[in-house]
Amino acid sequence: MSTAKDILILGIESSCDETAASVVKNGRVILSNCIASQADFHEQYGGVVPELASRMHIDAVYPTVSKALSDAGITLNDIDAVAVTYGPGLVGALLVGLSCAKGLCEVSGKPLVGVNHLKGHIAANYLCFEELEPPFLCLCVSGGNSMIVRVDDYTDMKVLGRTRDDAAGEAIDKIARVVGLGYPGGPKMDKAGQGGDVTRYVFSKTHMADTLDFSFSGLKTSALNLINGLRQKGEEIELKDFAASYQQAIADALLKNTMTAAEQTGIKKLCLAGGVSANSFLRNTFDKAAKKRGIKLYYPELKYCTDNAAMIASCGYYEFKDGKRDTLDLNAYPSLQM
Question: Do residues 7 and 318 lie in contact, with contact meaning Cβ atoms separated by under 8 Å?
Answer: no
Look at residue 4 in the predicted model and tell me its pLDDT.
Answer: 61
Q: Is residue 87 part of a domain?
A: yes
Amino acid 3: pLDDT: 46
Q: Could you tell me if 91 and 25 lie in one domain?
A: yes
Whether residue 100 sits in one domain with residue 70: yes
Query: Are 316 and 280 within one domain?
Result: no
Among 94, 83, 248, 88, smallest CA distance to 162 is for 88
Tally the domains of the chain. Answer: 2
- Average pLDDT on 192-207 reads 91
Q: Could you write out the DSSP letters of every residue in 97-147?
A: HHHHHHHHHHHH---EEEEEHHHHHHHHHHHH-TT--SSEEEEEE-SS-EE
Q: Examine the domain organization and report whether 120 and 180 are in the same domain.
A: no
Q: Is residue 2 part of a domain?
A: no
Residue 326 counted as domain residue: no
Looking up residue 29, the CATH number of its domain turns out to be 3.30.420.40
Find the mean pLDDT for residues 65-74: 98
Provide the pLDDT for residue 46.
Answer: 80
In a domain, 35, yes or no: yes
Based on the fold, state whether residues 44 and 144 are members of the same structural domain.
no
pLDDT for 223-280, tens place per residue? 999 999 999 999 989 999 999 999 999 999 999 999 999 999 999 999 999 999 999 9
Kindly state whether residues 284 and 177 are assigned to the same domain: yes
List the domain range (segments joined by +) for residue 273: 134-302
Q: Is residue 331 part of a domain?
A: no
Q: What value does the mean pLDDT take over residues 191-197?
A: 97
Domain-embedded: residue 335? no
Residue 184 lies in a domain: yes
Q: Residue 129 above 60 pLDDT?
A: yes
Q: Quick one: 290 and 312 in the same domain? A: no
Residues 19, 141 within the same domain: no
Cα gap 265→267, rounded to integer Å: 5
Q: Are residues 101 and 229 in the same domain?
A: no
**pLDDT of 26:** 98
Residue 327 inside a domain? The answer is: no
| Nearest residue to 279 (alpha-carbon basis) of 152, 117, 146, 158 | 146
The yes-or-no verdict on residue 180 having pLDDT over 80 is yes
Q: Going along the chain, which residue ranges are E strands?
A: 8-13, 18-25, 29-37, 81-87, 112-116, 136-141, 146-153, 156-162, 269-273, 296-298
* Bond from prior residue into 184 cis (ω within 30 degrees of 0): yes
145 and 18 in one domain? no
Instruction: Give the Cα separation of 174 and 216 in Å (integer).
Output: 12
Amino acid 58: pLDDT? 95
Q: Please indicate, yes or no, whether residues 283 and 157 belong to a single structural domain of this protein.
A: yes
In tens, the pLDDT along 143-161 reads: 888 999 999 999 999 999 9
280 and 259 belong to one structural domain:
yes
pLDDT > 70: percent of the chain: 99
